[in-house]
Structure 1
Amino acid sequence: MKALITLLLISWGCTVKAQEDVLIQEIIEGFADQLPEDYDLYELTERLSFYQKHPIDLNKTSPEDLKKLVFVSPLQIASLFEHLKTNGQLIDVLELQGISGFDLQTINRILPFIKISAPSDLSQLRAETFASNDLIIRYGRTLQTQKGFHDLPGSRYLGSPDKLLLRYKYLVKDFMSVSLVAEKDAGEHFIHGKSGADHLSGNVTFQKFGPFKKLVVGDYSMQFGQGLALWSGFAFGKGPDVTSVASKDLGLRPYSSSNESSFLRGIASTIGITKYIDFTSFFSSRKLDASLKSSADGSMTLENINISGLHRTPTELKNQKSLGQVVYGAAFQYAHDHLNMGLVTYKTQYQQRFVTGNQLYNKYSFEGEELLNTGVNYSYTFKNMYFYGELAHSIGSGWALLNGIMASLSPRISAVLLYRNYEKNYHSFFSRAIGEGTETNNERGIYGGMNYTPHKYWSFSLYADYFKFPWLKYRIDAASEGYELLGQMAFTPNKTTKILLRYKREIKSQNADAGSLDKGIQSVLKQNFRVEGKWSGNKQLNFQSRAEVACYQKGIAVSETGYLVYQDVNYKPLNTKLSGNLRLAYFNTPSYNSRIYAYEDDVLYGSAFGIYHGKGFRSFINLRYQVMKSLDVWFRYATSFYKDVETVGSGLDEIRGNKKTDVKLQVRYQF
């Protein structure tokens, strides 16, 4: 505690300022429990940071650009362009208040990322072009020695405990970009004879290059429709903003994340065949991590694909890049006025044959060496309503269907209704559609949500999602069903104060635990209650406080309750080079089942999903020092102190003692 108090005093004494990521925090926290702990959100954070520096001109933009602002709904985008078509260019940002679907919350969110040029502004007659280089080097490690780094017989970590990341990007706006990412996780060798750098990714992208609207050589992602047939890379799930369940597809995109799965490697291009029709073709060939098994006839069969990207132990290194994957296909997109339509078809081939286990829940899992997928998608805007959906088919097996409607019922109310039906034998290796399961199959559901802003100070969000699993699932030995509810109220009396209340309830089914007196399928109830306040003392000082309670109960067992309380302190200086923020947190959860998620500020583009479980205290401090205009240095120190334990973590990550401390150092040079 003395160390925590010392850090607090330092943070108040130093001339520091808060990171400008409040909006990113609000977006990420809505779906933090749906992503892995170390998921790299570079795709999202870099995109928003870019548009903070280079705002989108609403009089010169396109729907594709506005889709990149993830908090703007498809209906709002359609309403904006209908307004521009009917009334001409915008003169002032205040005009947004008169466009259907643009509530005050959306307008406040969008302001840092947009600008409006006057029709007579001659400077806008020439294209804005600039070239820039952006180099980031990051180092991190856990200060305590984990079990896997000891000289153990059998499985252990073969590399060093250091985490390393190099990220470089060269950009010529509206013409080309070059991206390179090299990463080493803790426990890995940075250089390995099988692959060179443990993870190396890069691409060269051209825009408006001859006949190509977009051309990518290297690593890329594909995002079409609602994610049923073809979607790789980052995707949203359910969150407090109910409009997020309508995916905003971006088509072909260069891939620059450090996540080591869910991307394609090869060449892809988008060509404008006519004014309203785009044609995208792609070819990918890469090696994946997989567990292979020798069959009775001596051939190798495929048990599962490893998406963690970790290569620390002898087994993980053996599985590294052991499976060849080839993907190729094409997509047509039609966009004119209020109608958008798309057709996608592609084939996936593997070197080895998928063979499922003999578990009954695997009865309808994919088997074979190749899979052909196809899908059609649409969206249509009619007055204040937005219709969207997709129908996908894995040839020779099942179907997947999604249809939704989004409506602006009044200037203060927007609503969404969505139906989905994913058959148990539908298969896709590149699918990220809305749903409860980790895979897009064996699920039916209906979702309804509403955003309501009765007054400029008040806003409410509510959604309900009912889902069924017609066939068995892992740890569920029967057909099952469940539901999820979320309600949120936000009170913002002025620009410096915000109070938020949130309640979330989820019920699912699961097999009884070993030794349980209540046999068979049991109901699992999870509930979360959150109270949060944000306020600013002045232009320099602001705070965020939260108290959250998580309740978990399985079957007739006694319910367990977890707690989290934290205080964030940010201090924004004037005319100084040093900035930063601090958190002090107390948590108490009986087990991992009652864990609580809370976003944590990190170094620029860093990923920090706080998963609080156990009993103890946690604190972190982030500092940024601007050495010169083009050179910045970040430092992060995060420590957790657990009560009444002798070890922290499990398996090879186990630490003797009751403390875990992580540090990061990052340098960014822009030139």
Structure 2
Amino acid sequence: MKKLLLYLSFLLLFFNVSDTFSQNLDIEKEKNRIIESRIEFLLDNNESGDADYTTLFEQLEFYYRKPINLNKTSYEELQSLGLINDIQINNLLEHIEKYGKLITLEELQTVNGMDLESIRLIAPFVRVNRNADAPNASIKDIILDGDNQFFMRYTRTLEQQQGFTDATPEELEENENARYLGNQDRYYARYKFTYSNNVSAGFTAEKDAGEEFFTGTQKNGFDFYSAHLYLQNFGIVKELALGDFQAQFGQGLTFWSGLAFGKTADLQTIKRSARGLRPYTSVQEDRFMRGGGITLQKANFELTAFYSSNEVDANVTDTLENQETFVFSSLGESGFHRTPGELENKNRIRRTYLGGHLTYKKRNFNFGLTAVTNKLDGEYQPRTQIYNQFSQIDNENTNVGFDYNYIYKNFNFFGEISHSIDGGIATTNGLLVYLDPKLSLAVQQRKYDRDFKPFESNAIGDGGTNVNEQGIFLGVTAKPFKSITLSGYFDRFVFPWLRFQSDAPTDGYNYLAQVTYSPNKQLSMYARIRERERGANLRVEGQPIDQVVNEKQTNYRYNISYKINKKIDLDNRIEMVRYLQGELPAEYGYVIYQDISYSSLSNPFSFSLRYALFDTDSYNSRIYAYENDVLYAFSIPAYSGRGTRFYLSTKYHISRGVDLWVRYAQTYYNDREEISSGKDLIEGRVKSEVKVQLRLKF
């Protein structure tokens, strides 16, 4: 430990050199900080840490490379940033209509509702240009002026896992799934062509660790392939998506594919900002559609139609007499095809979506109608439990919905009501109030019937799926002093019917309180407490049925960020958790880490380094923390058990258009002699991973 501290001190002294640097370096660091904070917002609501954040990375990275021209932008384009609220967007566009084009970014301070923090958030991703961009471009211009990027990534766990060891014939005869078919390497390749924000085309391919590669069942190389072509703002065609894409409408009740923010310290995330059709470039194999969609615009009307049909993984339990129709109990979500058993379920069922969205839009008002039909080929016979007997979807389902958004001065009303044709109704309504740049309020109400059938929904809620829930959310953000921000929310919810792992109706609450202190650009810190309580089953020895008890988790966090100079940033965090389940003894856990990052325009080399200590009583008291990674990748491990974690992520700019990333991460446990279990078992106390990525830009 002393040697490590001495080494870190040496690094600080070595790189602490006074020099004159371009402001671009500060802007890039601010961009990275904003991306990290957005992902941590998502992490607050996705505690498994297994979501794919590639789309969020890509969205903000694109606008950093191709900033939005505020003098020629749209409501939807500014919404897609996810950094300022709809009232601020409306006021900005109204300001430009009334007073003419902006001259400098500093003029944003004269826009009603645009405070310095909001301007700082969007600064890395916008620009002010009084000259209009070229209204039309030929195919030759698009090809010559477009950006090409090609990524190759290699990832491997260095220690040998049980699933990759040699198996005896007897073991395989007894269990053919005892070992993985492929090696421990994970390969990723991606090509993408973009022209401004009007054209995007490319492909993505991935092989997971354990899957075969150009051998056995994978003669075509990668296990997963994805491709897309996306056009935007070509005359009457507002959007055209072909290949793999996502679709998002309203507040996420009727149809929303992909990630969405939830309850966070940033009140504006309580409202969904639907992006319509968007290309899909991630590798999460169950979160996209395959087919095509188009959005046509005329005056204040927009009409979207889309169709998707692709084969998905399913747990097949039987085959009907015609030998062509499968009986299946569930759809696969992991995307892994590493064993004969997993391969048997690969692409067994065809899932089809047919839908559309009609909307009437003005700057401060819009309402829309959505209708989507979901069809699953085969005989869907889910394992019906008492808790899901009302909400279980069938072979074919149709949902229709109405959504609205209205801005009046500093009040933003929004909501959606959705109806399953053969089921129940779900509603959500909200209000954002910006009384003053120093005071904001948020209210959200929701009521999701137990027989509502959400096949692609992602509205605000606490139950994981938008079914069997009623709730009310209240939030506030206040800035009593220039350097201090107070934010918090309280969410009260009820589950009127049984849920998964809860054999009785339950209720609960969720609250967050945070104070942020930022006296200058060099220093920023915040302290927060977040607590959630709700009912859950507890297995009691000797009793025939589970007992439903309250499960409470409280997280305490203190985070401080400090810029030593224009090259070096420090980030420290301590987080503690207390977990209670019924009358059982409380469980505790903590994580302490130190981050150091270095970057310089005069040096092609940059790095991010972390050293962390953690100690938790069990997996129940685990703590997740975002880690810096190679571009468009993400790492959000669960700190569980007792030990240390270290990672070093480096980037080297080889030459113009050529960048190389290398990342090494290691976790050492001092409370066990083996890590994980089953085929992922590692004999020893250390688990380490190496990741190498090359990017070519041309």
TM-score bracket relative to the smaller structure: over 0.9
Q: Distance in 1 between matches of 2:535 and 2:652?
A: 50
Look up the equivalent residue of 2:552 and give its one-letter code: L
User: Aligned residue for 1:178?
Assistant: 201
1:584 deviates by 0.5
1:115 paired to 2:139: no
1:309-458 paired onto structure 2 within 5 Å:
309-458=335-484
The answer (yes or no) to whether the contact 2:539–2:547 under 8 Å persists in 1 is no
Q: Distance in 1 between matches of 2:393 and 2:565?
A: 61
Secondary structure of the structure 1 residue equivalent to 2:91: helix
1:116 deviates by 1.6
- 1:575-634 deviations in Å (ceiling 9; x for gaps): 111110100000000111111111100001111113111100000001100000200000
Q: Greater shift after overlay, 85-94 or 42-51?
A: 85-94
Secondary structure of the structure 1 residue equivalent to 2:654: strand
Secondary structure of the structure 2 residue equivalent to 1:97: helix
1:520 deviates by 2.0
**Structure 1 residues 182 and 606, CA, compared in 2 at 3 Å: closer, same or farther?**
same
Secondary structure of the structure 2 residue equivalent to 1:228: coil
User: Aligned residue for 2:22?
Assistant: none
**Structure 1 residues 324 and 516, CA, compared in 2 at 3 Å: closer, same or farther?**
same
User: Aligned residue for 1:143?
Assistant: 158
Look up the equivalent residue of 1:178 and give its one-letter code: A
Q: 2:38 aligns with which of 27, 34, 40?
A: 27
Q: Distance in 1 between matches of 2:247 and 2:35?
A: 23
Q: 2:625 aligns with which of 588, 598, 601?
A: 598
Look up the equivalent residue of 2:582 and give its one-letter code: G
The answer (yes or no) to whether the contact 1:262–1:430 under 8 Å persists in 2 is no
- Identical columns (%): 37
- 1:319-374 deviations in Å (ceiling 9; x for gaps): 11111111112111211132111111121111123223242112213253111111
1:175 deviates by 3.8
1:217 deviates by 1.3
So what's the TM-score if we normalise by structure 2?
A: 0.91
Q: Distance in 1 between matches of 2:616 and 2:158?
A: 25
Q: Distance in 1 between matches of 2:686 and 2:602?
A: 37
Q: Distance in 2 between matches of 1:6 and 1:169?
A: 43
- 1:186-208 deviations in Å (ceiling 9; x for gaps): 11123444876311001112233
User: Aligned residue for 1:569?
Assistant: 596
User: Aligned residue for 1:43?
Assistant: 55
The answer (yes or no) to whether the contact 1:422–1:442 under 8 Å persists in 2 is yes
1:551-570 paired onto structure 2 within 5 Å:
551-570=578-597
The answer (yes or no) to whether the contact 1:376–1:391 under 8 Å persists in 2 is yes
1:293 paired to 2:304: no
**Structure 1 residues 58 and 208, CA, compared in 2 at 3 Å: closer, same or farther?**
closer
1:237 paired to 2:262: yes
The answer (yes or no) to whether the contact 1:15–1:573 under 8 Å persists in 2 is no
Q: 2:180 aligns with which of 146, 157, 167?
A: 157
1:77 paired to 2:89: yes
Q: 1:68 aligns with which of 80, 103, 123?
A: 80
**Structure 1 residues 579 and 597, CA, compared in 2 at 3 Å: closer, same or farther?**
same
Number of equivalent positions: 668
1:285 deviates by 0.8
Secondary structure of the structure 2 residue equivalent to 1:417: strand
Secondary structure of the structure 2 residue equivalent to 1:31: helix
Secondary structure of the structure 2 residue equivalent to 1:100: coil
**Structure 1 residues 667 and 193, CA, compared in 2 at 3 Å: closer, same or farther?**
closer
The answer (yes or no) to whether the contact 1:387–1:405 under 8 Å persists in 2 is yes
Q: Distance in 1 between matches of 2:258 and 2:86?
A: 20
- 1:496-549 deviations in Å (ceiling 9; x for gaps): 001110100110111112428896211111001111111111111210001111
Secondary structure of the structure 2 residue equivalent to 1:451: strand
**Structure 1 residues 617 and 450, CA, compared in 2 at 3 Å: closer, same or farther?**
same
The answer (yes or no) to whether the contact 2:42–2:260 under 8 Å persists in 1 is no
**Structure 1 residues 328 and 147, CA, compared in 2 at 3 Å: closer, same or farther?**
same
Which runs of no fewer than 5 residues in structure 1 stay unpaired?
Answer: none
User: Aligned residue for 1:189?
Assistant: 212
**Structure 1 residues 65 and 358, CA, compared in 2 at 3 Å: closer, same or farther?**
closer
- 1:427-467 deviations in Å (ceiling 9; x for gaps): 12111111112211111111111111122201111111111
Q: Distance in 2 between matches of 1:290 and 1:14?
A: 56
Q: Distance in 2 between matches of 1:429 and 1:303?
A: 15
The structure, 1 or 2, with the larger RCO (C-alpha pairs under 8 Å, 6+ apart) is 1
Q: CA RMSD in A?
A: 2.3
Q: Distance in 2 between matches of 1:564 and 1:516?
A: 36
User: Aligned residue for 2:573?
Assistant: 546
Q: Greater shift after overlay, 614-623 or 421-430?
A: 421-430
1:236 deviates by 1.3
User: Aligned residue for 2:191?
Assistant: 168
Q: Distance in 2 between matches of 1:318 and 1:10?
A: 55
Q: Greater shift after overlay, 429-438 or 135-144?
A: 429-438
Q: Greater shift after overlay, 570-579 or 529-538?
A: 570-579
The answer (yes or no) to whether the contact 1:503–1:527 under 8 Å persists in 2 is yes
User: Aligned residue for 1:88?
Assistant: 100
Look up the equivalent residue of 2:148 and give its one-letter code: N
Look up the equivalent residue of 1:286 and give its one-letter code: N
Secondary structure of the structure 2 residue equivalent to 1:244: helix
Q: Greater shift after overlay, 448-457 or 474-483?
A: 448-457
1:635 paired to 2:659: no
User: Aligned residue for 1:275?
Assistant: 299
1:473 paired to 2:492: no
User: Aligned residue for 1:626?
Assistant: 653
The answer (yes or no) to whether the contact 2:413–2:430 under 8 Å persists in 1 is yes
So what's the TM-score if we normalise by structure 1?
A: 0.95
Q: Greater shift after overlay, 14-23 or 630-639?
A: 14-23
User: Aligned residue for 2:276?
Assistant: 251
Q: Greater shift after overlay, 488-497 or 35-44?
A: 35-44
Secondary structure of the structure 1 residue equivalent to 2:589: strand
1:524 paired to 2:551: yes
Q: Greater shift after overlay, 359-368 or 549-558?
A: 359-368
Q: Greater shift after overlay, 48-57 or 441-450?
A: 48-57
User: Aligned residue for 1:303?
Assistant: 329
Look up the equivalent residue of 1:278 and give its one-letter code: E
**Structure 1 residues 185 and 4, CA, compared in 2 at 3 Å: closer, same or farther?**
farther
Q: 2:636 aligns with which of 609, 612, 615?
A: 609
Look up the equivalent residue of 1:613 and give its one-letter code: S
Q: Greater shift after overlay, 502-511 or 432-441?
A: 432-441
Q: Greater shift after overlay, 361-370 or 393-402?
A: 361-370
User: Aligned residue for 1:55?
Assistant: 67
Secondary structure of the structure 1 residue equivalent to 2:422: coil
The answer (yes or no) to whether the contact 2:39–2:53 under 8 Å persists in 1 is no
User: Aligned residue for 1:584?
Assistant: 611
Q: 1:206 aligns with which of 231, 234, 237?
A: 231
Q: Distance in 2 between matches of 1:382 and 1:662?
A: 52
User: Aligned residue for 2:675?
Assistant: 648
Q: Greater shift after overlay, 185-194 or 528-537?
A: 185-194
Q: Distance in 2 between matches of 1:162 and 1:650?
A: 19
- 1:126-178 deviations in Å (ceiling 9; x for gaps): 88973111001000010001111123432221111111110110112254221
Look up the equivalent residue of 1:26 and give its one-letter code: S
Q: Distance in 1 between matches of 2:694 and 2:13?
A: 24
Q: Distance in 1 between matches of 2:598 and 2:254?
A: 46
The answer (yes or no) to whether the contact 2:591–2:613 under 8 Å persists in 1 is yes
1:22 deviates by 1.0
- 1:39-93 deviations in Å (ceiling 9; x for gaps): 3322111111111122111111101111111122222212222222333322332
**Structure 1 residues 2 and 539, CA, compared in 2 at 3 Å: closer, same or farther?**
same
Secondary structure of the structure 2 residue equivalent to 1:177: strand
